[in-house]
A and B are shown apart, each in its own frame.
Chain A
């Protein structure tokens, strides 16, 4: 368990209690994950527990998770970013056009794809900080602007909305390959990212700043936290993470298309909320988002192993989201009203 809060502290030696676990932001996500696992093990039979099935949901979770972490941080800080939906195809198309269509060095393509991410992140960040327009509206604007720009430019440059990119060598190995033919290399990036985020958010002092910002931006600024800089950095992080996912997908599938990635917008928000992050900011945890993402991916893929029609999976996700929010509200109230018993 991470040492970030909850379990009894100052005077007591014991470090574990059921109550302490339930008061943590990730309590709901963990219970949800266990519930969907049990559900699909019962209804999906043995097929659900095979490595092939695990690869199915792990691949989904890894790609989604890379985006869900920074989206979760933005939500903890009280902001939102929906422009990631066009950032993924934008970076896919960038690397495909640079390294596929124009046959440039693959690393130039990688740099260009990530560079587009940094650029859009900076635009989002500056617009949110400077205009004080709600970030949902700002990023909705950049969502459409980026999508239009990518579509227009790729038709102009290549005459097509999908571009082939054939690559091999190191870049393909580390960004877009399958391990054992089924597991995307992205899974390792995702696990690495999880570890890094947990360190930064729950162990280093920067995490404190993000939580404070989401709790009360004015007080946080008065306490000396560079809220503007931090907001811009978070937007750059979310855009660049989305760009990373888009770039890896182009290398993995050897093709980039203009119209993929929109599903990431809502899927990442669902993962984050199921993971126990409070929509209005100030509360949440990385491990919760991690569980939330897996929960989403399991529901998304698990349905294939049951006898139910595929179309029911959205219903399950919808209900899951509502239950998760209600459950998380309950656990948060428990955390708020908690006081150690008098001895």
Chain B
């Protein structure tokens, strides 16, 4: 499905965002194509969360435009964004821990059966569809739609949330640090599902701190530093070390180490004072 020549599903043009006097995002331009995973990298406070919130309709950009399939769109509410097929999955899955899998899967879009005022929630159908959707993503341990979501592992909850987004017609999937709280095995699960979503032709924005995870699934990488895009490159154009250096704030780790060594040698072996 990867097709570099097709028009981008989602495009940001010169997005700026400030909260009062504080500029959080500066002149962000990015393109996202169907069947492509864009890894959004950056240290804490680089503006990743603000950028996601703009894409998911929580914040409105101060200036700049958002284009979907080449035509400008604006999101006043999260509902606008999800109506356009932009689905955001947060770190903890954004699901309801004390609801059953079937029920939480269909929150807000419950299947019903029956007639007129006697329409009832179709639990059997909800459970079947939900379980099938998750199993299609390779999570075969989920068999019973009556299980409570809170009883699933972190990876399974992420998978459920992603499956839910895909089921309801998401075209752009925003994954906000989906692997941050997970162990190695669980994280692998989620990465496999990201690849699945990509194969199905979704455009994925993958936010992460972990370069290994980013390199495992990413086609396209953007590094944010202090609210600007510091680097924007394709898979294979940079090495892992270079990406790590970029994420550390643009200075190379090697350079930083040398600086500390120089300081120590000229200051009788004392490290530089904190706060630099």
A residues bordering B, Cβ < 8 Å?
3-11, 199, 203-205, 207-209, 211-212, 215-216, 218-225, 278, 282-283, 332, 335-340
Contact = CB atoms under 8 A, between A and B. Distances in A.
Nearest to B102: A9
Contacts, number: 111
Interface stretch (B8-16, B31-39, B121-129, B264-272): B121-129
Interface string B130-141: 010000000000
Contact of B121 (A205, A282, A332, A336): A205
Given A205-B119, A212-B99, A337-B151, 10 more contacts: A5-B103, A11-B144, A219-B107, A222-B94, A224-B108, A225-B107, A282-B96, A282-B98, A338-B148, A338-B151
Contacts of A278: 98
Given A216-B94, A216-B96, A219-B95, A8 B146 contact: yes
B121 A208 contact: yes
Contacts of A9: 102, 123-124, 127, 144-146
B108 A3 contact: no
A212 B79 contact: no
A76 to B, nearest CB: 10
Interface residues of B, number: 36
Contact of B144 (A204, A332, A340): A340
13 contacts: A10-B146, A11-B144, A204-B119, A208-B103, A211-B99, A212-B99, A225-B108, A278-B98, A282-B99, A337-B151, A339-B144, A339-B151, A340-B144
Contacts of B78: 221-222
Give the 3 A-B CB pairs with smallest separation, nearest first: A215-B96, A205-B110, A223-B108
Contacts of A207: 121
A220 B151 contact: no
Interface in B47-105: 78-79, 82, 88, 94-100, 102-104
A4 B103 CA distance: 10
Given A203-B120, A223-B108, A212 B96 contact: yes
A340 B147 contact: yes
A3 B144 contact: no
